Structures are given as C-alpha cells and as structure tokens.
Homo-oligomer: A and B are copies of this chain.
C-alpha cells in the first residue's frame, strides 16, 4: 500500500511521481517541508543480510538496496531510499537495542563530537538513472547530566534513532553546534535530494 501526502501553499511544479522507500517519520517530514508530493512504499529489504566494513559505503549500499527493492514495483516513478548512521570513535552506531544501551551511548556522546551520515539513492525507473551518494555533518553535544539522559531516554525517542538521538525531535536540546549538512543528521539531506530531483526534471 502506498499513501499520498500533499502540502498547502502554492505547490512547486512537480512533473514526476515520487516514492519514498522509507517509513521514517522524519524523512516524510523533510519531503513535506519542501513541498513535495509523494507516496510511501516500504522496501522490506533485510538490512542485516549485508555486511560492509566502511560505514559510509554501507549506508550508501543499504540506501540503494532499499530504493531498488521498491523500484522493481514501478515503471515510471522516482524512488528515494536512505540509510542513516552515527559515527563515534570510529564506531558505527545504529538504533540502540534498549533503554540501557541508549543511556550508555548518550553518556559517551556527552560533551563530544559525533558524525551523522546519511546514504541516499534516487532511482528514475523510466529513464534508468541511478544516483547513489552520501552526506554528513559533525555534531558537538553539550555536557549532559545523568538526570537529563534518563529523562530523554524515558521519552522513548532514542530507541527509534541511529546514535540514540534525534535533532528534529526532543534531541534538539542535546546539541551544542553542528558543522556540515544539517539534514544528513536528521535522516535525509533534502537539499541534495532536491537538486538531484531538479536534474532529473522531476520538479
């Protein structure tokens, strides 16, 4: 099943059907934010079936696989896939398994820098064009108290986030500064995706 989303205001001239191959509410919000009209179609691609040492290559590869799985279902559409990861001390952090792990991760990130990476893939199934790239930004966390970490984890939000934080949600309060493409930390570099959509003549 796919769902159609639409925004108010004067809409941009959109010439192609766009499919977001992700259930992430943040990615949906980012596409809505820039006025795109799109459908959501989950890929069901098994991420655990893939193993790659380099986290950037892995994020790009997973984004591509997710987009490809959905692309097979459409003859004439633009499919967007993405995969996000947080790098800290050369280690890739995905979503925490439970609250205890979320607390441990946030204690480690406190006061330090981590890198938010999003790999993305855009497939034009009609013209057989595939874009597969990544974007990143460094986030500096402020010093967090144990109480703050406990309170943040209790909201349940960290369990749904790579690196146990979400800057488009309550996690905004954890940030000190950011350097790079902000949108790569929140799940989709919408500015880069938008440029590619323009190049493809989709908007």
Chain A interface, DSSP helix/strand/loop, else mixed: mixed
Segment of A37-45, A99-107, A178-186 in the binding face: A178-186
How many angstroms between the C-alpha atoms of A13 and B174 in the bound complex? Answer: 17
- Establish whether residues B10 and A156, one from each chain, have CB atoms under 8 Å apart when the complex forms: yes
How many angstroms between the C-alpha atoms of A9 and B25 in the bound complex? Answer: 15
**Copies of this chain, tallied across the complex:** 2
Q: Does A130 contact B (CB under 8 A)?
A: no
Where the two chains meet, the residues of A that have a C-beta atom closer than 8 Å to any C-beta of B are 9-10, 12-13, 30, 33-35, 137, 142, 148, 151, 154-157, 167-170, 172-183, 190-191, 194-195, 198
16 A-B residue pairs with Cβ-Cβ distance under 8 Å, sorted by A, are: A12-B151, A30-B172, A33-B170, A33-B172, A34-B173, A35-B170, A167-B182, A172-B191, A172-B194, A175-B191, A176-B181, A177-B179, A177-B180, A178-B179, A178-B180, A182-B182
